[in-house]
Structure 1
């Protein structure tokens, strides 16, 4: 066993510069493996200690920032310590020679990957240490949108840096893309259009997250505005995903930004009612509308407008200062009930679609026949 070990040590001594004999090689192996095992086994504890030190020095004024830093840094730092253990143990065992080069490459890739991992984790945090509850939905959406762009930039940059370690320069990558530039341009056309449309939506602010909007005669609540898409929760509970280009090129009705809402109804009453009864009902109906605190009293219209096939039509037209859709529907329900109560009190009967057929006296029919 000792002869075999000596043979292995002898080969290592000849392949590694700066090592005098087998004893020094054995000592380097023991120290190197011990350092690696120490860092590998206790990497989580070391990571926690470093993170704790960072939170006390960098983010000591904000508990939320500390939590975001801990969540983002802990796992990538633990991975980096493991890679660093491989590198430092190799430096101890073989400071020069063929073994060192691939390990150095692994270490460089590990550093790039760890930093990218940490940055993406940090960007994935909810940014509550930057945003407050008082900040607008638009600001929060913009921060989320920009963070997604930064993540894409980090992935591209880290990929280029990793390729550099293999001797593939960024210039070569862009040159290769230039060869198939036309194909890439066509492939990315929709993605770029959606990206630019996303910028327009964020900064033009036609709507915000949680707004209730109408696009192409379909209404829903805005759940999320992403780089490529806008997601709406429809009234039936389903989620509909629109490309940002479609949203930007469509006529959008933002129902959440209505300062007031219109109530416009046609009430059909039976033909048996006299003009006096109609005028009295219209007057009382207008008084009812004016009695509401929510009604805009500057423009209230209650008029007898048409003789329909089955009814005498009264048009009701007025605005209410109720921006919320749910509150508006609640008020409209109350108004309709109040109208029915008023009609019952005044003995006004609402008409329904009907047709009356009159038969002439049988005798008159016979006389006319003669």
Structure 2
């Protein structure tokens, strides 16, 4: 604990007696000192600070502007703290309280500085971008919040440690205590630690980013958020699924948003009565239509008379759309289907449907005919 601080109740008695020795004139001057600092703070933040910001925005980089904006509110509070501290120094308090007031003043200064650094380490900070370019690190929508949270946690931890040291607390003993309980904590929090490192793997390897459409053996949907513990995925049924990072990091992840093109493949079945020449013309016309379509990727297009099916002659189609967006993909696929229908109509070719033909021998037909005639004669009698 801090030394040279009077203990209660003697401390309270000393403070009361000290206040009794303070004249109204001295109190008025102390209040005036506080008001002067408040007025100076007003002038600085309203006029001088805005002028500095205006000049900083003309600089080739936004780093200086971000620093000034991050420390704007801490500086406002800083002038209030200085005003009260100077007012205290003016008042005739015992020297025994100078130490504790000095500690309080330094604690407030450390707090304001940590506040400014905390604001500076936000996800919108230009500092991360500059550091990323300097060390060739690419920050995306997942990595930026992750790094920001780590930096902010470090700022808070360091600030608390410095403040504790300022008040003569043994920080090393506290850290040693954490080390003794580290093993028990690790055993009790295996799942949480696994989720944390799973999040680190996801962020560093970047199998997906925010807004990507992904599918795993357990869930499929759009990634909405990733935290230290879990990843939130919005399914196509608009349900929000929260998946632990340790589970997600150990699963096969298909990122459909990374498709450069989107596949369309199907078999077009036509009737067995279609002449060979018409099949050839349909295959050629469909192939030409796809190769001249602006929204079809031209790298690979396959249209072939493929198989003799049980109830149809199959034409195999295999090609890709340029767009990967679901709505646009459906529109292009609909356009292709309508054009294929138009070609079949122009060539007088019918689409086959599941059917079965029954062939009977002539003798069997004669027997059936005789049976029918006999039945008619009996009914007439």
TM > 0.5: yes
Shift in alpha-carbon separation, 1:65–1:353, aligned structure 2, 3 A: same
With structure 1 as the length reference, what TM-score do the two structures score? Answer: 0.75
Deviation at residue 325 of structure 1 after TM alignment: 5.0
Deviation at residue 188 of structure 1 after TM alignment: 4.4
Asked if residue 90 in structure 1 is aligned to residue 88 in structure 2, the reply is yes
| CA–CA distance in structure 2, aligned partners of residues 188 and 287 of structure 1 | 62
Q: Could you tell me which residue of structure 2 aligns to residue 307 of structure 1? A: 309
Unaligned residue ranges in structure 2 (runs of 5+): 1-12, 372-381
| CA–CA distance in structure 1, aligned partners of residues 127 and 223 of structure 2 | 24
Deviation at residue 27 of structure 1 after TM alignment: 5.0
Q: Could you tell me which residue of structure 2 aligns to residue 80 of structure 1? A: 78
Shift in alpha-carbon separation, 1:85–1:185, aligned structure 2, 3 A: farther
Question: What do the CA deviations read for 1:77-135 (whole angstroms, capped 9, x no partner)?
Answer: 22222233332222221464454444334323322221121111122261357759xx9
| CA–CA distance in structure 2, aligned partners of residues 283 and 55 of structure 1 | 68
Asked if residue 68 in structure 1 is aligned to residue 55 in structure 2, the reply is no
With structure 2 as the length reference, what TM-score do the two structures score? Answer: 0.73
Mean alpha-carbon deviation: is it higher for 340-349 or for 193-202? 193-202
| CA–CA distance in structure 2, aligned partners of residues 362 and 37 of structure 1 | 122
| CA–CA distance in structure 2, aligned partners of residues 60 and 92 of structure 1 | 42
| CA–CA distance in structure 1, aligned partners of residues 148 and 367 of structure 2 | 91
- Asked if 2 retains the 8 angstrom alpha-carbon contact of 1:290 and 1:297, the reply is no
Secondary structure of 2:207's counterpart equals coil
- Asked if 2 retains the 8 angstrom alpha-carbon contact of 1:80 and 1:114, the reply is yes
| CA–CA distance in structure 2, aligned partners of residues 355 and 217 of structure 1 | 42
Deviation at residue 151 of structure 1 after TM alignment: 0.9
Q: How does 1:118-197 map to 2 (within 5 A)?
A: 118-124=116-122, 126-128=124-126, 131=129, 138-141=138-141, 142-197=143-198
- Asked if 2 retains the 8 angstrom alpha-carbon contact of 1:300 and 1:318, the reply is yes
Question: What do the CA deviations read for 1:180-216 (whole angstroms, capped 9, x no partner)?
Answer: 2233223544444344333333332323344433333
Shift in alpha-carbon separation, 1:169–1:349, aligned structure 2, 3 A: farther
| CA–CA distance in structure 2, aligned partners of residues 172 and 358 of structure 1 | 97
Deviation at residue 334 of structure 1 after TM alignment: 1.7
- Asked if 2 retains the 8 angstrom alpha-carbon contact of 1:305 and 1:314, the reply is yes
What is the Cα-based RMSD across aligned positions, in Å?
Answer: 4.1
| CA–CA distance in structure 2, aligned partners of residues 35 and 64 of structure 1 | 36
Mean alpha-carbon deviation: is it higher for 153-162 or for 227-236? 227-236
Shift in alpha-carbon separation, 1:75–1:319, aligned structure 2, 3 A: same
- Asked if 2 retains the 8 angstrom alpha-carbon contact of 1:198 and 1:244, the reply is yes
Question: What do the CA deviations read for 1:7-42 (whole angstroms, capped 9, x no partner)?
Answer: xxx9769759xxxx95x7655433323222433566
Q: How does 1:256-267 map to 2 (within 5 A)?
A: 256-267=257-268
Secondary structure of 1:140's counterpart equals coil
